Amino acid sequence: MSWLLRHVQSLLSSAGHLARAPIATLFTVVVMGMALALPLGLDVLVRNVRNATGDFSGAIGISVYLKTNVPESRAQQLLKNTRERNGVRSATLITATAALAQFRKQSGFGAALDALEDNPLPHVLAITPAAGSSDPAAIENLRRYLQSWPEVETVQLDGDWVARFNAILALLRRLLLLAAGLLGLGVVAVVGNTIRLEIQNRRAEIEVTKLVGGTNAFVRRPFLYTGALYGLLGGLCAFVVVAVALWLLAPFAQRLAQTYGSSFALQGPALRDLGILLGAGTLLGWVGAWLAAGRHLARIEPGT
Amino acid sequence: MITFSAVAKRYRNGREALGNVSLHIPPGEMVFLTGRSGAGKSTVLKLIALLERPTRGQVLVGGENTGKLAARRIPAFRRKVGVVFQDHRLLADRPVFDNVALPLIVAGSALKEIDKRVRAALDQVGLLGSERQLPAELSVGEQQRVGIARAIVSRPPVLIADEPTGNLDPQLASEVMGLFRRLNEVGVTILVATHDLHLVRESGLREIVIENGRVAGDEGSLVLPIIEARR
């Protein structure tokens, strides 16, 4: 009980020290907040991009271009074969005639196309694989199978860019982890330096405390609490920074989404993020204080 | 209670503060330590409070050999030795109560106990009622008495004081001395380092003179022959 009481006393005393120097405390907290806000901001960004693109990431398609000399009847036969194959959700045939008609309508090259003697376009099988984009190996299998037909000119994966996009997102996530690690080190250094200064400022107090029989653990305790409090406040600051930034960006993101006809809305940081930030901040602050206190407190002895 | 056997102390900068000091202070005695500035008085006190360890020889305080005490046991040792400084070394940003309570707080005493003992200590130095004042709001003499209250609040068996009257006028000085005498009467072993020879003569107490890092005189002591024999 008295053990708990002493810790509560240390905590309150540390909080009091921070409150008595509000400007200095604010600066430290803001610096830490910025450092912690960057990885959170990146994370929220990546999550939003994922959300926005989630709709069509499954829409991978395979276009099978047949050789131009393949007659339409053979193409119909191939379509039937394709539909019977495992791993194919749906398949349609775009005949050369239909393709030309559509191209004529959309491109505006009608007169130029009339000058052609033959239809230069091949028949195309448009296939949606059952696996979606989630199973690249299954899609690759299907592609190889289709490629092996003698009537087939080329097989093209329409979803290549989705895979690339997902790879970019994965890269961003990795970058984010790296940034979080480095900025975490930064937070430790900032707290460590602040605690070092604090130890110097309170040198007389530390000497007297040791003189009257205070143990190293007793002397260290308020500094550890100070570091942890800096971290906690820094985490809170980071959360507020990211939340406000997203709130400012939200209308612009919405406008952009509307031009794509999407109902996408920017998601702010979640409550879970707040928990993680506060936890990580507190831990990093504690570690920074522990490192600084370990280095500097041992050197202060009364009367020397 | 305090025994120095052929103690030498050389500081890291090479200065030899004590050459060869042997002395013995039995429990319950009050002794003055005199000598010129730089003669080694402060070093003797630092060795007793375990702020320094002897380079050679042995320092025994309350049966503990300070030269061999493990670092983790130093805090517990220091709680048994009250120290009064000339510049009192109070914490300027804490009220009187918190200053005096510090030795009890570091020892983990219960709040009720702390409250009771701090008031008792302040009562002993005649400052009951000043708990909430900051040190700067008190006179120099009062500040010194707060320092004494802090030194005695945990009732240590040994009290050492470095020039406790150095900044005080004669009347305040004699008040502080009276306070030490009263503490001594209840059994505290006291060693006071001082320049104030008048005060020492007036008290009629034992006086150990330190000169050039050695004991140059030990007057009024009943144990003098023992020390002579040890040499």
Rounded-to-integer distance, Cα B82 and Cα B76, Å: 12
Q: Has residue A240 got a pLDDT over 90? A: yes
Considering CB atoms only, which of A2, A205, A303 is closest to B110? A2
Q: Note the pLDDT of residue A93.
A: 87
CB A93 within 8 A of CB A125: yes
Q: Note the pLDDT of residue A290.
A: 94
Q: Note the pLDDT of residue A51.
A: 76
Average pLDDT over every residue of A258-279: 83
Closest-CA residue of chain B to A2: B110
Rounded-to-integer distance, Cα B138 and Cα B125, Å: 13
A·B CB contacts under 8 A: 55
Q: Which segment of A15-24, A41-50, A226-235, B212-221 scores lowest on mean pLDDT?
A: B212-221
Considering CB atoms only, which of A204, A212, A303 is closest to B102? A212
Whole-number percent of chain A with pLDDT over 90: 24
Inter-chain CB proximity A208 and B46 less than 8 Å:
no
Determine the distance in angstroms separating the CA of B223 from the nearest CA of chain A, rounded to an integer.
30
Q: Note the pLDDT of residue B226.
A: 45
Inter-chain CB proximity A205 and B91 less than 8 Å:
yes
* Helix, coil or strand: residue A138: helix
Closest-CA residue of chain A to B88: A208
Q: What does the longest C-alpha to C-alpha distance in chain A come to? A: 106
Q: Note the pLDDT of residue B193.
A: 93
On whether ipTM exceeds 0.90, the answer is no
Q: Which segment of A46-55, A164-173, B76-85 scores lowest on mean pLDDT?
A: A46-55
Inter-chain CB proximity A304 and B52 less than 8 Å:
yes
Of A30-34, A104-108, A121-125, A142-146, give the range with the top mean pLDDT: A30-34
Q: Note the pLDDT of residue A54.
A: 61
CB A49 within 8 A of CB A267: no
Rounded-to-integer distance, Cα A247 and Cα A239, Å: 12
Residues from chain A contacting residue B150 (CB–CB below 8 Å): 212
Determine the distance in angstroms separating the CA of B220 from the nearest CA of chain A, rounded to an integer.
30
Of A17-31, A135-149, A223-237, B3-17, give the range with the top mean pLDDT: A223-237
Give the β-pairing of B2-10 and A88-94: unpaired
Q: Note the pLDDT of residue A107.
A: 72
Determine the distance in angstroms separating the CA of B84 from the nearest CA of chain A, rounded to an integer.
11
Average pLDDT over every residue of A166-186: 87
Please indicate whether residue B108 or residue A304 has the higher confidence score (pLDDT).
B108
Q: Domain coordinates of chain A in residue numbers?
A: 2-56+163-297, 62-158
Q: Tell me if chain B has a CB within 8 Å of the CB of A177.
A: no
Rounded-to-integer distance, Cα A186 and Cα A194, Å: 12
Average pLDDT over every residue of A82-105: 83
Average pLDDT over every residue of A260-266: 74
Q: Which segment of A132-141, A166-175, B148-157 scores lowest on mean pLDDT?
A: A132-141
Closest-CA residue of chain A to B113: A2
Crossing angle of helices B96-106 and A203-211, in 10° steps, is: 50
HSE, side-chain direction, 13 A CA sphere, residue B214: 5
Digit-by-digit pLDDT tens for chain B (231 residues) are 899 998 999 988 888 888 888 999 999 999 999 988 888 888 999 999 998 899 999 999 988 899 888 888 999 999 999 999 888 889 988 899 999 999 999 888 888 999 999 999 999 888 998 989 999 999 988 999 999 999 999 999 999 999 888 878 888 888 888 889 999 999 999 999 998 888 888 888 899 999 888 888 887 654 444 444 444
Nearest to A195 by CA among A105, A59, A293: A293
Rounded-to-integer distance, Cα A249 and Cα A236, Å: 20
Q: Note the pLDDT of residue B55.
A: 92
Considering CB atoms only, which of B76, B91, B111 is closest to A204? B91
Determine the distance in angstroms separating the CA of A242 from the nearest CA of chain B, rounded to an integer.
38
> Which residues are paired to A157 by β-bridges?
A62
Residues from chain A contacting residue B61 (CB–CB below 8 Å): none
pLDDT, one tens digit per residue, over A229-239 is: 999 999 999 99
The type of residue at A212 is: V
For chain B, the C-alpha Rg in angstroms (whole number) is: 17
Rounded-to-integer distance, Cα A226 and Cα A192, Å: 11
Q: Note the pLDDT of residue A304.
A: 47
The type of residue at A118 is: D
Q: Has residue A302 got a pLDDT over 60? A: yes
β strands within A131-220, DSSP E: 152-157
DSSP character at residue B215:
E
Arch. (CATH architecture) of A62-158: 2-Layer Sandwich (3.30)
Q: Tell me if chain B has a CB within 8 Å of the CB of A303.
A: yes
Q: Tell me if chain B has a CB within 8 Å of the CB of A1.
A: no
Test mutation, A212, A220, A301, chain B, max B CBs within 10 A: A212
Inter-chain CB proximity B75 and A214 less than 8 Å:
yes
> Which residues are paired to B9 by β-bridges?
B18
- A15: how many CB neighbours lie within 10 A of its CB? 14
Considering CB atoms only, which of A209, A213, A301 is closest to B76? A213
Rounded-to-integer distance, Cα A168 and Cα A172, Å: 6
CB B9 within 8 A of CB B17: yes
Rounded-to-integer distance, Cα A277 and Cα A181, Å: 13
Q: What is the mean pLDDT of chain A?
A: 84
Inter-chain CB proximity B108 and A2 less than 8 Å:
yes
Rounded-to-integer distance, Cα B92 and Cα A121, Å: 93
CA angle B90, B96, B102 (to 5 degrees): 65
Determine the distance in angstroms separating the CA of B112 from the nearest CA of chain A, rounded to an integer.
11
Average pLDDT over every residue of A130-142: 70
Please indicate whether residue A61 or residue A249 has the higher confidence score (pLDDT).
A249
Average pLDDT over every residue of A180-191: 92
Of A42-51, A59-68, A160-169, B93-102, give the range with the top mean pLDDT: B93-102
Q: How far is CA B212 from CA A228, A291, B68, B128, B161, in A?
A: 51, 43, 26, 42, 20
Q: Note the pLDDT of residue B223.
A: 46
Inter-chain CB proximity A302 and B77 less than 8 Å:
no
Q: Note the pLDDT of residue A303.
A: 64
A186-216: b (≥16 Cβ within 10 Å) or e: bbbebbbebbbebbeebeebbbbbbbbbbbb
Q: Tell me if chain B has a CB within 8 Å of the CB of A297.
A: no
Residue holding tokens 């009024």?
B220
